[in-house]
Chain A
Amino acid sequence: MYGQTDIEALLAEYREGKGWGALARAITRVENSPPWQVELPTPTEPVQVVGITGPPGAGKSTLTGRMIDVYANAGARVAVLAIDPSSPISGGAVLGDRLRMETHLMGREDVFVRSLASRGSHGAIAGATRNVARLLELSGAFDVILIETVGAGQTEVAIAELADTIALVTVPGLGDAVQAIKAGLMEVADMVVVNMADRPGARETVRHLRLSMGREFFVTTTIATEGVGVPELREALEERWDRLREGDGLTRLRARKRAREAALVAEAWVRSCADEITEENLDLNSAVKRILEEAARRWTT
């Protein structure tokens, strides 16, 4: 759809100091291309990609807005990708996360916020989102990249799990924690944030989480509406990043994530291939053979 050179030219334009416009346009190109059609170089200067996920309404956007403040006040340049679900019926979406972050953008010219819709299959959107994050990393414009996803199902877990660090945001009361466990979020989380700590039951929830996740596991509380606990969250994220950057921790982590990404993207490709051959009405084994032949043709050059 779009040439690789297009994306690189836009990135170069951005680097020449032409403002956010060129970077934003490059994101659109990446977003609109199936992830297997986008080939971005491996960033040489890695930037921590943080996935902020959790049940709907847990306060992820409010918290992300506060994180913009805390990072910016520490001199860091912040990028945010905020993902909201697409309507399965119309394919459209109302992207409401930006609204919660607006007040934190005032007078901050080096903060970049982009809303994305979770179009299509989970492999495709996870791959596309990771590619957008990679593009932000390659731009050299950011010190941290925050990705907000709704932690409600497979698609959202797939997006979040490709980040370097996954912060699961939950709220007091066991209902939402149970939801998160069901969605498979607990397994991928690197830390848990109990937000809305101004509500009753926060301490109970923390205790319960520590019991089930083990003492080593980082659990913290925040009141996102007031910014309470957010500097501590940033510190934990920075500590994790420093630890990863010692030795080959990050290299190994990214290799693992990239393998996972490859599996998701390959799966999305296979699905799109399967869609294309439905007309041919093949029996099952012939269809499988057909897909694998197609795969060999597409991927051997």
Chain B
Amino acid sequence: MTSSTADGTKAPPIKVIVAKPGLDGHDRGAKVVARALRDAGMEVVYTGIYQTPDSILRAVIQEDAAVLGLSSLSGAHMEYAKDLCKLLAENDRTDVLFLVGGTIPEEDGEELKQVGVTEVFGPGTRTEDIINFIVENAPER
């Protein structure tokens, strides 16, 4: 990252959790995103498939992540996203940038944002768009 802090030292890399909730075991997309974020200078914890809201929350807290990216292809994103928004709020982590990506139908996008998801990246999103969004919006740690 080229951004700098006030005293001129380089800003530390942005920490991101990439998680894949639920029962669908296809994580190719999630891995592609994880590598793209790494190549943009971020530190990405990939937690793997079959994650539950509790295990994702634990990773966000213990890793002190600034960004949580949920990859969902199963159509169950709404429920997971709602649970996680609730858990993040209960644990004083509302500043975490919460992104959902994958095969999200357009009409679900608005609802996801209403329940507290920061941004939704549907089919056809370019990784540059995700990177730019994170760089511009990630909270400082």
Contact = CB atoms under 8 A, between A and B. Distances in A.
Contacts of B1: 91
Contact of A94 (B7, B38, B91): B38
Given A32-B12, A105-B55, A117-B13, A92 B61 contact: no
Contacts of B48: 99, 102
Interface in B59-87: 59, 61-64
Interface residues of B, number: 33
Interface residues of A, number: 31
B92 to A, nearest CB: 6
A87 B39 contact: yes
Contact of A93 (B44, B64, B92, B93): B44
Contacts of A1: 5, 7, 9
Contacts of B38: 87, 90, 92-94
B119 interface: no
Interface string B1-41: 10001010100110100000000000000000011011111
A113 interface: yes
Given A1-B5, A105-B55, A106-B55, A92 B62 contact: no
Nearest to A89: B39
A175 to B, nearest CB: 28
B39 A95 contact: no
22 contacts: A19-B61, A20-B62, A24-B62, A24-B64, A28-B141, A90-B38, A90-B39, A92-B13, A92-B40, A92-B41, A92-B42, A93-B38, A93-B43, A93-B44, A96-B46, A98-B47, A98-B63, A106-B55, A113-B62, A115-B45, A115-B63, A119-B12
Given A87-B38, A105-B55, 11 more contacts: A20-B62, A21-B91, A21-B92, A31-B12, A87-B39, A89-B39, A92-B43, A92-B44, A98-B59, A102-B48, A113-B62
Interface of A: 1, 19-21, 24-25, 27-28, 31-32, 86-87, 89-96, 98-99, 102, 105-106, 112-115, 117, 119
Interface of B: 1, 5, 7, 9, 12-13, 15, 34-35, 37-48, 51, 55, 58-59, 61-64, 91-93, 141
